[in-house]
Amino acid sequence: MMKKLFKNKMILFGVSFTALLILLTFIIPQVVPLSPLQQDLPARLSSPGAKHIMGTDALGRDVFIRIIYGARISLLVGFVSVTIALLIGVPLGLLAGFHGGWVDNLIMRIVDIMLCFPSIFLILMVITFLEPNIINVMAVIGLTSWPGLTRYVRGEALSVRKRDYISAAKMMNIGRVRILFIHMLPNVIAPVLITATLGIGSAILTESVLSFLGLGVQPPSPSWGNILTSGKNYMGSRAWWLILFPAGAIFLTVLSFNLIGEGLRDHLDPHKKFLKKG
């Protein structure tokens, strides 16, 4: 199975890049003595060169080091907020699909309402009133990104619930919770996995937008978003490296997760494959 997965070039690229990034976030701090806050004042706003491979920002801090430390935050936000969304979205979706009736109605109307809001607006609204820090960012992204997942899981659950093995389980008087998680969950896990992987990418994207707007990770802590803010502020000084490198980091990371997600879809989702054959 694993071997087959890695034959897929999309997955291979995605996993390799993510693994490399994670590895770098562990290795670089051990090997390079620079901290992301350390200033090299004579070399303020210096363009990429031998000493600072990605240049320095207006305070003389090394951009490469800041991007590597920023990666920790981005990856953490990605994984944690998706976990939160999964913990809320999957049980609700299973419940709605399995139970039907008013429970289904109630849950799906809440989902509809949540989906009506431009999610970034909702997130901005909440985050401004909370202290903008990484924990709140993760919580808010997680708490606002479950509705799509719920809708998806519900659809899957609906198609599973009339199957014979569920009826059999009901007949054997197995408890509802047990049916939901032991009998139904494994059968809807594939699409959940795909959605979750894609969700990590979009959570990373959201975090960078928030930090860029000054509502996420607060300076001086490095984050890809707030490096971009300094890039915007020093655009007049033509500090292109403050824009290009963090933008590239976000792009490649999000791309990797999307590639993994799509690759998984090719393998796990039989319907999609059918479509592809055309």
Partner 1 sequence: MFIPLLIGITVISFTVMHLTPGSPVDDFKMNPNIDARARHRFYKLYGLDQPLYIQYAGWFGNVITFDFGRSFKDGRKVLTKILERLPATLLLNLFALGVIFAVAVPAGVLSAVKQNSFTDRFLAVLVFAGYSLPAFALALILMYVFGVKFGWLPISGMVSVNYSYLSFWGKVFDLLKHLVLPVITSAVGGLAFMSRYMRATVLEVMRQDFIKAVRARGVSKKGIITVHIFRNALIPLVTLFGLLIPSLIGGSVVFETIFSWPGMGRLAYGAIMSRDYPVVMGVGVIMALLTLIGNLIADIGYAAVDPRIRYEK
Q: How far is CA 59 from the centre of its chain?
A: 30
CA atoms within a 13 Å half-sphere pointing along the CA-CB vector of 112: 6
174 binds partner 1 (CB under 8 A): no
As given in the structure block, the two tokens for residue 239 are 């500090």
124 binds partner 1 (CB under 8 A): yes
199 binds partner 1 (CB under 8 A): no
Of 23-31, 92-100, 110-118, 171-179: span binding partner 1 (CB under 8 A): 110-118
Name the DSSP class of 151: H
In the chain, the amino acid numbered 186 is P
# residues near partner 1 by CB under 8 A = 45
C-alpha closest to that of 185 among 160, 151, 164, 219: 160
As given in the structure block, the two tokens for residue 130 are 């909370």
Binding characters for partner 1, 130-169, by CB under 8 A (x = yes): x---------------------------------------
Of 33-41, 128-136, 162-170, 177-185: span binding partner 1 (CB under 8 A): 128-136
CB 160, CB 184: distance < 8 Å: yes
22 versus 130: smaller Cβ distance to partner 1: 130
3-state secondary structure of 62: strand
What DSSP assignment string belongs to 204-266? HHHHHHHHHTTSSSPTTS--HHHHHHHHHHTGGGT-THHHHHHHHHHHHHHHHHHHHHHHHHH
241 binds partner 1 (CB under 8 A): no
12 binds partner 1 (CB under 8 A): no
85 versus 250: smaller Cβ distance to partner 1: 250
Of 46-54, 60-68, 149-157, 252-260: span binding partner 1 (CB under 8 A): 252-260
115 binds partner 1 (CB under 8 A): yes
Among 63, 166, 250, 264, binds partner 1 (CB under 8 A): 250
| Backbone φ and ψ of 233, nearest 5° | -65, -30
Name the DSSP class of 52: S
Residues forming the site for partner 1 (CB under 8 A): 109-110, 112-122, 124-126, 128-130, 201, 205, 208-209, 212-213, 228, 231-232, 235-236, 238, 240, 243-244, 246-247, 250-251, 254-255, 258-259, 262, 275, 278
